[in-house]
Amino acid sequence: MNDGNEAIGVIGVGWVGLVSAACFAETGYEVVAMDIDEAKIAALRRGEVTIHEPGIEDMLQRNAERLTFTTDIADVLERARLLFCCVDTPPTYSGDADLSRVQAVVRELREDGEHALVMKSTVPAGTGAAIRREMPSLPYVSCPEFLKEGSAVNDFLHPDRVVIGASADDAWAADAVEDLYRPLGGEIVRTDVASSEMIKLASNAFLATKISFINEIANVSEEVGADVTEVARGMGLDKRIGTSFLHAGLGFGGSCFPKDVNALKMLAGNTGYHFQLLTSVIEVNELQKRRVMKKLERHLGSLAGRRVVLLGLAFKPNTDDMREASSLVLAARLQGEGATVTAHDPVAEPRARELLRDVEFAASVEEALEGADAVILVTEWPQFAELDWAALAGRMATPLIVDGRNFLDPDAMRAAGFTYEGIGRTGV
């Protein structure tokens, strides 16, 4: 290793890896970022950004001199002491986390006393211990990532907390990681590896639980004539509850919550413990998308031959990530009922085209809504709030909107000529 020019090593340049690499470079460090995907590395070397994430493009450009992209792990080992593992851990068919990419990284490492593995990938509790059994003298630090897609750069640079788990033997490596993060502010939580791994899984599971909880409150609110947005506001002002993650809607998607909630449930199950609460959280989340069908049918009768528009396709705004997006389930359900589906998203169309079959894509909202029988607002892109909804109502065959994110003002939408349905809102 060349100590005169020590860099931070990043292995895997997906969302977490690329954002981490860019942000470490932004804070002044040299970074060597590696991925086995040659096309991705070639694109990054050309200065092309492989993900849609606000702020990342400028940051990569600004720090180009400090960033090296490579497909060769030897380049990383040559220049970096801390190796941040950021490869993905997608779900397997059983719902467990697939650790094959993490294992592939570990196989490339040697117990040479010069490197430490810093695990940023989301892994089941116990992974660090298993790696230590395989390579007892490879220093290991668990440093889970809590960034949110769409605000990842800001989250990285202004963390609420930084969790660093390591055994006493690896204190030097944990100290080195702490040195990197301390200038960013946020509480530093030093703990053991297993607890650090659990903090990550439990945090995501808790946030997912909040969402499923408020979605069930929304469903009951509809029955009793309450408005869930009012209920959430009133609840959230209690500091013990908090207002965030109490937005009722179509449920949670993305590459993390569905996977991590399932992985925690499976992890518990593998030890013989049935995690009853998470089983319900997952079930509520699945049913939430299906309830939209009932809302449409209440107004349109059978959906056969109807044309329904999905407005927004990504799992949330400011990203083109389609993983576990509600739009995928909705398109399939609508087609299952015999409806035709038109879709529009400001940025996710290229990724969506790979996943959605027999869906017509419209280049603009106006084009999408022309002659349509209903529109479902799936992703709350800010620009959808600025649309001339009265003009759009005039273009539709039936101006019916299901606001799957409770994003629009029901009174304004009704004044614009729409039949408006939210999730758990009054005036149905």
Q: Smallest distance, Å, CB 260 to ligand UGA? A: 6
Contacts (Cβ under 8 Å, ≥6 apart) of 193: 128, 129, 132, 140, 141, 142, 165, 166, 167
The reply on whether position 149 binds ligand UGA by CB under 6 A is: yes
Cβ 327 to ligand UGA shortest distance, Å: 11
| CA neighbor of 1 nearest in space, from 114, 84, 82 | 114
Q: Are 72 and 34 in contact (CB under 8 A)?
A: yes
Helix (H, G, I), strand (E, B) or coil at 321: coil
Between helices 193-224 and 127-134, what is the axis angle to 10°?
Answer: 160
Q: Is 256 a catalytic residue?
A: yes
Closer to ligand UGA at the Cβ: 258 or 410? 258
Q: Compute the least distance from the CB of residue 118 to ligand UGA, in Å.
A: 16
Nearer to ligand UGA, 24 or 257 (CB): 257
Rounded to 10 deg, the angle between the 276-300 and 257-270 helix axes is 140
Distance in Å, CB of 354 to ligand UGA, minimum = 19
Q: Is 213 in the site for ligand UGA (CB under 6 A)?
A: no
164 part of the interface to ligand UGA, by CB under 6 A: no
Q: E strand or H helix at 329, and its extent?
A: helix 326-336
Task: Identify which of residues 11 and 109 has a Cβ nearer to ligand UGA in the complex.
Answer: 11
Q: Toward ligand UGA, which CB reaches closer, 253 or 399? A: 253
Quick one: which of 140, 156, 315, 389 contacts ligand UGA (CB under 6 A)? 315
197 binds ligand UGA, rule: CB under 6 A: no
Structure-token pair, residue 85:
């593992």
**Residue among 23, 85, 143, 256 flagged as catalytic:** 256
| Segments in 135-247 forming alpha helices (H) | 152-157, 171-181, 193-224, 228-236
Interacting residues with ligand UGA between 108 and 147 (CB under 6 A): 122, 145-147
Instruction: Identify the residue among 181, 213, 252, 407 touching ligand UGA (CB under 6 A).
Output: 252
How many amino acids of this chain bind ligand UGA (CB under 6 A)? 21
- Least distance from ligand UGA to the Cβ atom of residue 130, Å: 21
How far apart, in whole angstroms, are the C-alpha atoms of residue 385 and residue 204?
A: 29
Taking the complex as a whole, how short is the minimal distance between the CB of residue 151 and ligand UGA, in angstroms? 8
Shorter beta-carbon distance to ligand UGA: residue 70 or 203: 203
Stretch that binds ligand UGA, among 185-193, 255-263, 276-284, 341-349 (CB under 6 A): 255-263
Cβ atoms within 10 Å, residue 317: 20
Q: Is residue 165 close enough to count as binding ligand UGA by CB under 6 A?
A: no
Does position 81 interact with ligand UGA (CB under 6 A)? The reply is: no
C-beta of residue 342 within 8 angstroms of C-beta of residue 368: yes
- Residues near 342 by Cβ (< 8 Å), separated by ≥ 6? 307, 308, 309, 310, 359, 360, 361, 362, 368, 372
> Which residues, 6+ apart, have CB-to-CB distance to 139 below 8 Å?
115, 116, 117, 166, 169, 170, 172, 173
Can you tell me which of 9, 12, 165, 249 binds ligand UGA, judged by CB under 6 A?
249
Q: Which of 140, 257, 389, 407 binds ligand UGA (CB under 6 A)?
A: 257
Structure tokens at 1: 């290793």
Output the smallest distance, CB 258 to ligand UGA, in A: 9
HEC string of 52-114 equals CCCCHHHHHHHCHHHEEEECCHHHHHHHEEEEEECCCCCECCCCCECCHHHHHHHHCCCCCCC
In the bound state with ligand UGA, the residue whose beta carbon lies nearer, of 52 and 316, is: 316
Question: Bridge partners of 351?
Answer: none
Q: Tell me how far, at minimum, the Cβ of 316 lies from ligand UGA, in Å.
A: 4
Residue 403 contacts ligand UGA per CB under 6 A: no
Which tokens go with 60? Answer: 């990569």
Whole-angstrom distance, CA of residue 140 vs CA of residue 134: 12
Binding piece for ligand UGA, criterion CB under 6 A, among 33-41, 83-91, 187-195, 251-259: 251-259
- For residues 308 and 375, is the Cβ–Cβ distance under 8 A? yes
| Contacting positions for ligand UGA (CB under 6 A) | 122, 145-149, 204, 207, 211, 245-247, 249, 252-254, 256-257, 260, 315-316
Q: Give the catalytic positions in this structure.
A: 256
